[in-house]
C-alpha cells in the first residue's frame, strides 16, 4: 500500500483524494479549512495536523491549491513541503497556477533532488468525482512515468506535454480558447434568438458545421440542447466565472511575459471581470450569455 499525502482538500482535492482511497491507498490529508478536513475524514481519509506531519514518510505528495501564492506558501518555509518530504517521494503539483511560480517550484525541487511534475487538470468537479479528469503534465518524463499509475486513479486522459511548467502552459492555452469560444457561442445564440431562429435548430446546425466546438456541443450556454450543461440549472457552477477570470489572467500574464499579442484574450478577460463584478462570480462561466444580453 502506498502512503499518499494530499494537500488542499477543496472542491477538486476532496473528490480526487476520495478516488485514491477507493482503490485502497492510505491517504493522509491537510487543508487549512476545518470543514474540508471533516469532509475528508468522513470519506475515510487520515487527518494530518499540518503540512510537515502530513508529508512525512509519504511515498507520493499531491497538492491541489487555489493560486501560485498558495502553492509557494505550501512548499516553502520551515513548515513547507520541501523541508519535510522524504527525498525519494514523488510530487504532483496539480493546481492551475502562473508559469513563473510553476517553473520556480520546479527549480526549487530540482535543487533538493526532489522528483516533481506540474499536473494541472481539466474536467471540473464532475470529472474529479468520476475520476475522468484530463491531466496535462510538465517535468521530467521519468517522474511522469513513475506518477502515471496514481494519476490514472483520478483521471482518464493523461498527456505528457514536455519540460517543467509545460503542463501549466497547456492548461492556460486551453482555457484561453475556452473563455473566448464561450463568448462567441453566447453572442451567436443571442443573435439567433433576435433573428427568431429556434435555438434547437441553431444548435443542430452549429454543432455539426464549422462553428462546432466544446462550448456548443458539450456545454451549450442556452437551456435545452445539451441537458447536462449548467444552463439547465440556472448556471449553477460547474466552472465558476471567477475561475475562468483567474485562468484568463494567467493567460494575459503569460502573453505579456512572452510578448504575444492576444487581443481576444484581453477582451474576454475584461468581459468575465465585468460579469463577476456584476454578481456572476459564483455562477458558471457559461452564464456570461445572460450578462451579454444585459440580464
Return the active site residues: 171
**Residue 229: CB minimum distance to ligand NAD, A:** 14
Q: Strand, helix or coil at 212?
A: coil
Burial of 228 (0-12, 13-18, 19+ CB in 10 A): exposed
What are the phi and psi torsion angles at 6 (to 5°)?
Answer: -125, 115
Nearest partner of 154 among 122, 130, 137, judged by Cα? 130
**Residue 76: CB minimum distance to ligand NAD, A:** 10
Burial of 259 (0-12, 13-18, 19+ CB in 10 A): exposed
Taking the least distance from each CB to ligand NAD, the nearer of 68 and 139 is 68
Taking the least distance from each CB to ligand NAD, the nearer of 122 and 290 is 122
Taking the least distance from each CB to ligand NAD, the nearer of 180 and 206 is 180
Cell of 112: 533538493
Taking the least distance from each CB to ligand NAD, the nearer of 3 and 247 is 247
β strands within the chain, DSSP E: 3-7, 26-30, 46-47, 60-63, 90-93, 115-118, 121-122, 133-138, 155-162
Q: Which residues bind ligand NAD (CB under 6 A)?
A: 7-13, 30-33, 36, 64-66, 70, 73-74, 95-96, 121-122, 124-125, 239, 243
Amino acid at each position: 500500500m502506498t502512503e499518499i499525502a494530499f494537500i488542499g482538500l477543496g472542491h477538486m482535492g476532496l473528490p480526487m483524494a476520495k478516488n485514491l482511497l477507493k482503490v485502497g491507498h492510505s491517504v493522509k490529508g491537510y487543508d487549512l479549512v476545518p470543514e474540508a478536513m471533516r469532509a475528508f475524514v468522513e470519506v475515510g481519509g487520515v487527518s494530518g495536523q499540518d503540512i510537515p506531519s502530513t508529508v512525512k514518510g509519504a511515498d507520493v505528495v499531491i497538492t491541489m491549491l487555489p493560486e501560485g501564492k498558495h502553492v509557494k506558501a505550501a512548499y516553502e518555509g520551515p513548515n513547507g513541503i520541501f523541508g519535510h518530504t522524504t527525498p525519494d517521494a514523488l510530487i504532483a503539483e496539480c493546481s492551475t497556477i502562473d508559469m513563473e511560480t510553476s517553473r520556480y517550484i520546479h527549480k526549487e525541487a530540482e535543487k533538493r533532488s526532489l522528483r516533481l511534475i506540474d499536473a494541472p487538470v481539466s474536467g471540473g468537479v464532475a470529472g474529479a468525482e468520476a475520476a475522468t479528469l484530463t491531466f496535462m503534465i510538465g517535468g521530467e518524463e521519468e517522474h511522469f512515468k513513475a506518477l502515471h499509475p496514481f494519476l490514472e486513479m483520478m483521471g482518464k486522459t493523461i498527456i505528457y506535454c514536455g519540460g517543467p511548467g509545460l503542463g501549466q502552459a497547456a492548461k492556460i492555452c486551453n482555457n484561453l480558447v475556452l473563455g473566448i469560444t464561450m463568448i462567441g457561442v453566447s453572442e451567436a445564440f443571442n443573435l439567433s434568438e433576435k433573428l427568431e431562429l429556434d435555438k434547437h435548430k441553431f444548435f443542430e446546425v452549429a454543432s455539426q458545421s464549422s462553428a462546432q466546438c466544446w462550448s456548443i456541443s458539450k456545454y451549450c450556454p442556452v437551456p435545452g440542447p445539451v441537458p447536462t450543461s449548467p444552463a439547465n440549472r440556472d448556471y449553477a457552477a460547474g466552472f465558476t466565472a471567477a475561475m475562468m477570470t483567474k485562468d484568463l489572467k494567467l493567460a494575459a500574464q503569460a502573453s505579456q511575459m512572452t510578448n504575444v499579442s492576444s487581443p481576444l484574450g484581453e477582451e474576454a478577460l475584461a468581459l468575465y471581470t465585468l460579469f463577476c463584478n456584476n454578481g456572476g462570480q459564483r455562477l458558471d462561466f457559461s452564464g456570461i450569455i445572460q450578462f451579454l444580453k444585459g440580464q
